[in-house]
Amino acid sequence: MEQIKQQVRAYILDNFIVVGASSEFQDSDSFIEHHICDSTGFLELIGFLEEKYGIKVEDEEMVPANLDSLNGIAAYIVTKRPH
Amino acid sequence: MNRTPSLRRQDRSALTPEVLRLDCKVEVERIAAGMVRIVGEQFRRRGALVAMSGGVDSSVCAALAAHAFGPKKVFGLLLPERESSASSTTRARQVAEQLGIRWQTEDITGTLEAIGCYRQRDEAIRRVFPEYDGSWRSKIAIAGGTEGRINFFNLVVESPDGQIKMSRLPLREYLQIVAATSYKQRIRKTIEYFHADRLHYAVLGTPNRLEYDQGFFVKNGDGAADFKPIAHLYKSQVYALARHFGLAEEICDAAPATDVYTMPQSQDEFYFALPYDKMDMALWAHDHAVPAHELAAWLGTDEKHARFIYRDIENKRATTRYLHARAAVIDPLPEIDD
């Protein structure tokens, strides 16, 4: 879980322009509320998750609970990834 | 006691289409006065140029301009391309003739071909559907937001024998398809400004309130204009004005369509996710703090869905704020901007 959060955080900081207080976002912080991601940003993030973790994000799984925070993403990836 | 009843309370108890009812005669005069003030006094232009698609928004705008300035001071431009509907062009011509304004047709197909509009779009589509070629038709459709999910776009293609395929668009392909398709609106705007400059006219932009508020326009494309006289009107109010002006039934009854992609595509399918009359009410209700359960009752849906609709309105507003923004500068220049 921690490794996934670190990897996703690194991807966000490398690829999005995140400045000021937003760059210090916590694992539980909402990307939307902290202006880190809009809908286009989520599409980019989904592309990264699919490629990095070998998963397919289904349409019905594109909900904020799965994608709108590092905690949400890590929990989601763990459930999706082949064991 | 100098206290008026709460507007919100009044509005809440009145969630019916009546809240959008217009006194068309009064509204036409109010808009016309504003147009004359803006174009004549503020911009010092001699008239208005309006691109006419044959849809209700541009037809009503042309009628308002003819009413405000007189038909002699309005120029209509019809800008079809090989993928736009021929019947739309016919309707636009009929409106121009009905209003007695000057008009001209310029087919932009050659320009779009030369600049790579169709090629760049088709190349992106083929990365998703390799079998797609020039004989297929395509469109993109929004999904997710009003179901509480993150908005995304599906690409839909149709083979010549009617086989339909659909796939969620990856970001890179989505952006390229939209960027290529936006050439249509941007080339049109370039031509509009040529004619506006040669006539010393102002360019009229035709967005209604739904489009303006929710960012349904191309920046520096149909979003570019000198004035936007119906940006405050809900779509159903624009239809009311169309009937007030006595425009043709096909215009007053036509469902809003994008006329940008090769497959038939309604505006709600492409962007709004609700038919215009419901979207009008949802936007009005959102802006007047009507509780989600009241909107739900009016829409015939559940409260959760209504909350998703409210959130989708806010998301689209936030996501498209950039489209409205002027070019930003590092230091303010009050000598110019004030």
**Contact between B150 and A64 using a beta-carbon 8 Å cutoff:** yes
Min Cα–Cα distance to chain B from A31, Å = 12
**Contact between B150 and A42 using a beta-carbon 8 Å cutoff:** yes
pLDDT, greater one: A46 or B269: A46
pLDDT digits (tens, 9 = 90+) for B178-222: 999 999 999 999 999 999 999 999 999 999 999 999 999 999 999
pLDDT digits (tens, 9 = 90+) for B26-58: 999 999 999 999 999 999 999 999 999 999 999
Min Cα–Cα distance to chain B from A17, Å = 15
User: Cα separation of B14 and B3, whole Å?
Assistant: 20
Write down the pLDDT at residue B319. Answer: 87
Q: How many residues does chain A have?
A: 83
The mean pLDDT of chain B is 91
DSSP character string of A15-41: HS---GGGGG--TT--TTTTTS--HHH
**Would you list which residues of chain B are within 8 Å, Cβ to Cβ, of chain A?**
143-145, 148-152, 168, 170-172, 174-175, 315, 318-319
Pair of tokens at residue B227: 């004035």
Strand ranges inside chain B, DSSP E = 48-51, 74-78, 102-105, 137-143, 152-158, 164-168, 202-203
Pair of tokens at residue B289: 């703090």
Percentage of chain B with pLDDT > 90?
A: 77
ipTM: 0.86
Question: Which residues of chain B neighbour A63 with C-beta distances below 8 Å?
Answer: 148-150
Q: Residues near B193 by Cβ (< 8 Å), separated by ≥ 6? A: B203
**Of the partner residues B148, B174, B175, the one whose CB lies closest to the CB of residue A63:** B148
Model confidence at B102, pLDDT cuts 50, 70, 90, reads very high
In terms of Cα–Cα distance, which of B266, B270, B244 is closest to B255?
B266
Q: Residue B41 to residues B35, B47, B210, B336: CA-CA distances in angstroms?
A: 10, 12, 28, 18
User: Cα separation of B171 and A43, whole Å?
Assistant: 6
Write down the pLDDT at residue B211. Answer: 95
Please check whether residue B138 is in contact with residue B178, taking contact to mean a CB–CB distance below 8 angstroms.
no
User: Which residue does chain B place closest to A47, by CA atoms?
Assistant: B170
User: Which residue does chain A place closest to B322, by CA atoms?
Assistant: A38
Question: Which residues of chain B neighbour A64 with C-beta distances below 8 Å?
Answer: 148, 150
Q: Residues near B269 by Cβ (< 8 Å), separated by ≥ 6? A: B139, B141, B142
Count how many pairs of residues, chain A against chain B, have C-beta atoms within 8 Å. Answer: 40
In terms of Cα–Cα distance, which of B84, B61, B327 is closest to B211?
B61
Min Cα–Cα distance to chain B from A78, Å = 20
Please check whether residue B85 is in contact with residue B231, taking contact to mean a CB–CB distance below 8 angstroms.
no
Q: Is A30 on the interface with B (CB under 8 A)?
A: no
Considering the domain delimited by B20-115+175-324, tell me its CATH architecture: 3-Layer(aba) Sandwich (3.40)
Residue A68: domain span: 2-80
How far, rounded to the nearest angstrom, does the alpha carbon of residue A36 sit from its chain's CA centroid?
10
User: Cα separation of B267 and B276, whole Å?
Assistant: 8
Write down the pLDDT at residue B6. Answer: 40
In terms of Cα–Cα distance, which of B123, B64, B129, B66 is closest to B97?
B66
Give ∠ CA B265-B275-B219 in degrees, rounded to 5.
Answer: 60
How many distinct structural domains can be found in chain A?
1
Min Cα–Cα distance to chain B from A57, Å = 10
User: Which residue does chain B place closest to A51, by CA atoms?
Assistant: B170
Write down the pLDDT at residue B10. Answer: 45
Give ∠ CA B265-B271-B272 in degrees, rounded to 5.
Answer: 110
User: Cα separation of B260 and B85, whole Å?
Assistant: 9
pLDDT digits (tens, 9 = 90+) for B137-193: 998 888 887 777 888 899 999 999 999 999 999 999 999 999 999 999 999 999 999
**Contact between B319 and A59 using a beta-carbon 8 Å cutoff:** no
Determine the average pLDDT of the residues in B62-76: 98
Q: Residue B327 to residues B41, B191, B322, B337: CA-CA distances in angstroms?
A: 25, 22, 10, 12
Write down the pLDDT at residue B7. Answer: 42
Model confidence at B258, pLDDT cuts 50, 70, 90, reads low
Write down the pLDDT at residue B9. Answer: 43
Question: Which residues of chain B neighbour A15 with C-beta distances below 8 Å?
Answer: none
Whether residue A22 has pLDDT greater than 80 = no
What's the CATH code of the domain at A62?
Answer: 1.10.1200.10
* Residue A74 one-letter amino acid: A
A55: β partners: none
User: Which residue does chain A place closest to B153, by CA atoms?
Assistant: A43
Pair of tokens at residue A10: 């690194």
Q: Is A11 on the interface with B (CB under 8 A)?
A: no
**Of the partner residues B150, B171, B175, the one whose CB lies closest to the CB of residue A67:** B150
Q: Is A43 on the interface with B (CB under 8 A)?
A: yes
Whether residue A54 has pLDDT greater than 80 = yes
Determine the average pLDDT of the residues in A11-34: 87
Q: Residues near B280 by Cβ (< 8 Å), separated by ≥ 6? A: B20, B209, B210, B234, B235, B236, B237
Min Cα–Cα distance to chain B from A41, Å = 9
Strand, helix or coil for residue B258: coil
Model confidence at B12, pLDDT cuts 50, 70, 90, reads very low
Please check whether residue B255 is in contact with residue B56, taking contact to mean a CB–CB distance below 8 angstroms.
no
Please check whether residue A67 is in contact with residue A46, taking contact to mean a CB–CB distance below 8 angstroms.
yes
Model confidence at B14, pLDDT cuts 50, 70, 90, reads low
In terms of Cα–Cα distance, which of B15, B52, B14, B61 is closest to B241?
B61
pLDDT, greater one: B139 or B94: B94
Q: Sort A24 into a burial class: Cβ within 10 Å, 0-12 / 13-18 / 19+.
A: exposed
Question: Which residues of chain A neighbour B149 with C-beta distances below 8 Å?
Answer: 59-60, 62-63
Q: E strand or H helix at B308, and its extent?
A: helix B303-319
Q: Is A29 on the interface with B (CB under 8 A)?
A: no
Q: Is A3 on the interface with B (CB under 8 A)?
A: no
Strand, helix or coil for residue B204: strand
Percentage of chain B with pLDDT > 70?
A: 94
Model confidence at B269, pLDDT cuts 50, 70, 90, reads low
